[in-house]
Amino acid sequence: MIKKIKPISAKRKDVKLKTAAGTKKIEQDDRIDLVIIGAGPAGLSAAAEAAKNKLDVLLIDKNDIAGGQLYKQIHKFFGSTRHGAGQRGFEIADLLYKECTRYKVKIMLEAVCAGVFFDQGIEVSIIKNERLQQIKCKHLIISSGAKEKTMAFPGWDLPNIMGAGAVQTLVNLHRVIPGKRVLMVGSGNVGLIVSYQLIQAGMEVAGIVELGNKCSGYYVHYAKLKRLNVPFYFSHTVKEAEGNDGVEQVTIVRVTERGRYVPETEKKIPADLICLAIGLKPQSELCQVAGCKMYYNVRLNQVIPVYNDEMETTINNIYVAGDASGAEEASIAMEQGKLAAISIAAKSGKVNKRLRNKYKTEINKNIAQLRAYRKMFAKCRKKDIDRWRRKKGAVAVLDCNEDIPCDACRKICHRSAIKMDRDITSIPSIDLNKCRGCGLCIPYCPGLAIFVIDDTFSNDRSLVKLPYELLPVPREGKVVDAVDKNGKILCEAKVIKVDNQRKNNKTKVISIALPKRFSNSARGIKMR
Amino acid sequence: MMRIKKHPILNALPNHRTVTIYFEGRKISAFAGEPVAAALVANGIKVLKITKKFHSPRGIFCAIGRCTDCMMKVDGKSNVRICLEKVCHDMRIEREKHEKT
């Protein structure tokens, strides 16, 4: 039966447990310790952490599979190896889900949270199987994730103009191709990653349009696309999309620094799919419904709920975690979920305060590290390896020039030749005395930015080992074209070996032999 | 059919049970259990509805059940978000009909 729902007033800020006239205690038994809305990275890690600390947890998600958007992510993740850096998104989702089932978290799927009310504590309305039901709980974590922003231009409502997430869902999850030639709008990490995934699925990227004058995502993602000759249109925006039943042609135009169109710079690009990857905004309607105080965060350019250093909002016992508290990134979401779960466990007396404080400082430090990414696009390090070293044999080259929060390569090198100065945000450097060019790090780099050069291969030719994640895979003995970092063909090269071991996790390591003078600049191959 | 059979990262397309569904009376084949939207995209159908006021075509936009651009008539039931609705045998999918205003 549906209970009569009390309307909540906007003024109510602080809702505490009501005891009936202070004489009768509420029966606490029928209330669940913790309800988590959203089973994404934040929700799953919060649920696992809370259940580990002996809390009774119910996890609610709209989809028929727990894992949120992680299931669409087929690229290897950055971040610390603690959060599964170097592993693909769906593998991380599987790991988190397994952890949840191990600690016996109750998971309710295909259920939509319709509202948050207050009646003897917190009451959550859930729609499941077209029926509304009320669930009472002591604590609530809202980890409802983020939604995509969109932009308006003439013709923006035509079919086949989609958000990047939608294209990812169709291509990676449902394995269907919505269009053959894609124009990507936005060169943030989402835009770059999705573009690469579409190329992997066999589609053609007609170009990447970016309003700013430089690429706003990680350099390693940009380099992956640049190697494949994908055109980038910086300081450009979409002016118009034309077509009858779907996009057929897109007009892009150059813009000034202040965002005005530059006349007579229009360019018409034929494309049958426009993919909008222009950022995310938090899906924090549930926080607003509950009456949490919201504010505009300048750093993120988003309206987010106010929360303290334990992820608690302005309303007691309601916590936020993940993208709902500011759309950032999966590793941060996982840490935030953990932090919220530990604070709740401490509040319920399952974890002592000393341990809580220890966790709190540690997690806040990790989050600060993950946020410490600084854009250093123009700065490039010296690429030439010392001559003396190259005469001795194979050596790894790291094409990683940015302070990306990632330490996958450092963890995998068993000779500890790869070093980072400070924390995981530092640029990795290679100790040439220790590196033997084994190439173990090549498939582990999520940015595909590690190569091995061996100038001692033969008298006139060098061996270059490079990562490869595309189809078709060249056969051993075939002749391919070696390309440089801009996708320019350098010379012909012979494929010596294709390494597709299981531990490489589907990233092939291809060894090519090419003339010595090109060994320093070869960064990719092109099939003939 | 526009399906990705070979992929460098994902495993080969699993053997799904193929079922027949009807789009505006036209027979199309789909995989059992996939969303209706995916089945339509696989058959090259882009236009999912014609808007009431301006009669302009609409297609999939968010694919996760938030934007309501993909609402269609499924088995006689109006306003079903087909990006979430799962395919089953003999399903009848139609565009919403609006009288001209």
**Rounded Cα gap, residues A250 and A236, in angstroms:** 12
Average pLDDT, chain B: 90
Is B33 touching A (CB cutoff 8 A)?
Answer: no
pLDDT, residue B101, reads 56
Q: Is A310 on the interface with B (CB under 8 A)?
A: no
Closest by Cα among A286, A235, A254 to A112: A286
Mutate to test the interface with B, among A161, A168, A170, A470 (most CBs of B within 10 A): A170
Rounded to an integer, what distance in angstroms lies between the CA atom of residue A304 and that of residue A293? 9
DSSP A43: H
Q: How far apart are CA A16 and CA A22, in angstroms?
A: 13
Helix orientation angle between A189-200 and A219-227, rounded to the nearest 10 degrees = 30
Q: What percent of chain A has pLDDT over 90?
A: 69
| Mean per-residue pLDDT, B92-98 | 89
* Residues A506, B58: C-beta atoms closer than 8 Å: no
- CB pair distance less than 8 Å for B59 and A147: no
Q: Average pLDDT of A397-418?
A: 88
pLDDT of residue A13: 41
- Of A28-42, A137-151, A336-350, A476-490, which range is least confident? A28-42
* Cβ contact, residue pair B57, A160, below 8 Å: no
A158: contact with B, CB 8 A cutoff: yes
Structure tokens of A518? 């090109």
pLDDT in tens, B2-37: 899 899 999 888 888 999 999 999 999 999 989 999
- Phi and psi for A314 in degrees, rounded to 5? -70, -15
Distance CA B66, CA B71 (A): 11
Residues of A in contact with B37 (CB under 8 A): 170
Q: Do B46 and A162 touch (CB under 8 A)?
A: no
Under the banding of pLDDT at 50, 70 and 90, the label for residue A143 is very high
Confidence of residue A376 (pLDDT cuts 50, 70, 90): low
- Looking at the DSSP bridge assignments, the partners of residue A207 are A183
C-alpha neighbours within 13 Å on the C-beta side of residue A150: 15
At residue A119, the pLDDT reads 80
pLDDT value of position B42: 94
CB contact under 8 A, B10 and A160: no
Three-state DSSP class for A268? strand
- The mean pLDDT of A94-105, rounded to a whole number, is 94
**Between A307 and A380, residue with greater pLDDT:** A307
Q: What is the pLDDT of residue A341?
A: 96
Integer angstrom CA distances of residue B17 from A289, B27, B28, B87? 43, 16, 14, 11
Q: At A68, list the tokens.
A: 């949120």
Tell me which residues of chain B, numbers 47 to 66, contact chain A at a CB-CB cutoff of 8 Å: 47-48, 56-66
pLDDT-based confidence at residue A382 (cuts at 50, 70, 90): low
Mean pLDDT score across all residues of chain A = 88
Q: Where are the beta strands (DSSP E) in A149-293?
A: 161-163, 181-185, 204-209, 232-233, 236-242, 249-254, 267-270, 273-276, 280-282
Any idea which of A237-251, A333-347, A370-384 has the lowest mean pLDDT? Answer: A370-384
Name the band, by pLDDT with cuts 50, 70 and 90, for residue A368.
Answer: confident
Cross-chain Cβ contact B62/A178 below 8 Å: no
Least CB–CB distance from B9: residue in A158, A167, A469: A469
Contact A50, A34 (CB under 8 A): yes
Largest CA distance in chain A: 92
ipTM for the predicted complex: 0.95
Name the pLDDT band for B89 (thresholds 50, 70, 90).
Answer: very high
What percent of chain A has a predicted confidence (pLDDT) above 70? 91
Phi, psi of A353 (to 5 degrees): -65, -30
Supply the pLDDT for residue A120.
78
Residues in chain A closer than 8 A to B34 (CB atoms): 174
Q: Say if CB A107 and CB A61 are below 8 A apart.
A: yes
More confident residue, A5 or A390: A390
Residue A161 touches partner B, C-beta closer than 8 Å:
yes
More confident residue, A143 or B100: A143
Under 8 Å CB pairs connecting chains A and B tally to: 99
Q: Which helix (H) or strand (E) holds B79?
A: strand B77-81
The token pair at A359 is 């966790």
Cα distance between residue A45 and residue A336, in whole Å: 9
Judge whether residue A24 has pLDDT over 80: no
| A195 SS3 class | helix
- Please give the structure tokens belonging to residue A217: 């995502």
Is the distance from CB of A409 to CB of A398 less than 8 angstroms?
yes
Query: Averaged over A271-290, what is the pLDDT?
Result: 93
pLDDT for A308 equals 93
Mean pLDDT (whole number) for A268-281: 94
What are the distances in angstroms from CA A369 to CA A25, A61, A290, A403, A454? 45, 30, 31, 11, 35
Decide which of A453 and A392 is more confident.
A453
pLDDT in tens, A325-342: 999 889 999 999 999 999
Do A245 and B58 make contact, defined as CB atoms within 8 angstroms? no
Residue A25 has pLDDT above 60, yes or no: no
Six-digit token string for A200: 């992997």
In this prediction, residues A198-205 reach a mean pLDDT of: 95
Is the pLDDT at A9 greater than 60, yes or no?
no
Query: Is A10's pLDDT higher than 60?
Result: no
Q: Do A148 and B42 touch (CB under 8 A)?
A: no
* pLDDT score recorded for residue A40: 95
Q: Do B4 and A163 touch (CB under 8 A)?
A: no
Within 8 A of B8 by CB-CB distance, chain A residues are: 200, 469-471, 473, 506, 508
Query: DSSP assignment, residue A518?
Result: G
Tens digit of each residue's pLDDT (9 = 90 or more) over B25-82: 999 999 998 999 999 999 999 999 998 888 899 999 999 888 888 999 999 999 999 9
Backbone angles phi, psi at A352, to 5 degrees: -80, 160
